[in-house]
Amino acid sequence: MLILSSRRHFLKTTAAVAAATTLPQWFLNETAQATAETPSPNDQPGVALIGCGGRGRGVAREAAQHGRIIGLCDVDDANLAQAQKLWPEAQLYKDFRKVLERSDIHIVVNGTPDHWHTFINLAAARAGKDIYSEKPLTLTVAEGQRLVKAMRETKRILQTGSQQRSDKNFRLACELVRNDRIGRLKHVNVWLPHGRREGPFAKAPAPAGLDWDFWLGQTPRMDYQRERCHQTFRYFWEYSGGTMTDWGAHHNDIALWGTGYERSGPVSIEGQSLVPMIPGGFTAASEYAVLYTYANGVTQLTRSTHGNGWNGSVTDKAAPQHGVRFEGSNGWIFVTRGKIEASHGDLLMTPLPSSAPRLYASDNHMKNFFDCVRSRKQPICDTEIGHRSVSVCHLGVIAIRLGRALKWNPAQEQFVGDNEANTWLAREQRKPWSYETL
């Protein structure tokens, strides 16, 4: 069992932190060469946005720089109205299946809630569309297995919206770790924002213009509550996994990239919910800790930034913001949005040798997707990577909910000797929103 005091001792015995306010020039020079602009065809592919909430509209604005937004779809008229202000010429839909019938729509931007991602992605791929899908890519591990298989069969391009993969700070951190810049990697600390702990919530009539039953989709039939819909849906197990799958799909993804397990996963998981949730309120754990172990012995502790740490110990205050810290035998590197720092400056500033392996280079997540749509090469966060990244989150959620240690076979994607845990890899789908509909 990992004791957090050892992490604090590690910090006390390392050199002073060296923060990089600007990235090393050697890395910027290499990046400029690796991601140089290439001439793009004059075509403007037709794009449909399915899921027109705030995040969906934000991603569609990025897509509009590379294609034409000609279709808008949402089960809530209020979201459609907001999107129509941005793209008044686009045709409006309440049913995504009508969108997929159009031959002039080549790309789907999927900005729906988490429990709709896989179903729409599968339908879009089978309709011959390429897909930019918001993260987390799936609601369950089994959904990811099915989606990976479908994307291989249809040969469509899917980019998972884990945009940190296209951020220079995160790529530099992972490239250095993969090249043993911090020595032998021993441990990864991942801090995620804590979730919300509120309730109980009152039932209410669904707003006019919202098809609540359609919004629920495959999930159990529930009376409408304002908190269950739109921005706060992710704090219910039924539709998401709290911040473990929301922010975890970002930072756990970086942990996998840095450790080299981006197409595999851990071999053991142990999770704890650190505070009880309020009956009748949000159900996804708001404060938690999950310990992962990989086949090479590297451990990873993923925990919320608020509350207690593992087994009730005090949370390490050395990195109060969310992010990822790789710890090795010769130092550590911490990375988060807008910042990278290390136990001493040479870890960042010394160039890697020309023979050192490099990672996939992208500096614009949406452009990388559209470039790959044209070239038919895989994007930086393809279906399998998106599936494996969120699988780590799903495994953490299962461990938190079961409250015990679990053994995992990443090749077979099954728990070892634990039939109960394996039943949690999929969920019963409410008809008509089951796979048979596809």
Q: List all residues 6 or more positions away from 371 whose beta carbon is below 8 Å from its beta carbon.
A: 38, 40, 377
Classify the C-alpha dihedral 136-332-295-398 as positive or negative. negative
> Which residue, 95, 89, 36, is CA-closest to 64?
89
Chain segment 375-421, per-residue pLDDT in tens: 999 999 999 999 999 999 999 999 999 999 999 999 999 999 999 99
> Which residue, 125, 177, 176, 170, is CA-closest to 146?
125
Chain segment 298-347, per-residue pLDDT in tens: 999 999 987 544 444 444 444 458 999 999 999 999 999 999 999 998 99
Question: Does the N-terminal peptide bond of residue 200 adopt cis geometry, omega within 30 degrees of 0?
Answer: yes
Q: What is the mean pLDDT of residues 11-38?
A: 59
Q: List all residues 6 or more positions away from 434 whose beta carbon is below 8 Å from its beta carbon.
A: 218
- What are the start-end ranges of the E strands in 193-296? 268-273, 288-293
Give backbone dihedrals phi and psi of 241, rounded to 5 degrees, phi first.
-140, 30
Going along the chain from its start, the domains and CATH numbers come out as: 4-33+167-357+383-437 (3.30.360.10), 46-134 (3.40.50.720)
d(CA 426, CA 414): 11
Residue 129 near residue 299, CB atoms below 8 Å: no
Chain segment 188-222, per-residue pLDDT in tens: 999 999 999 999 999 999 999 999 999 999 999 99
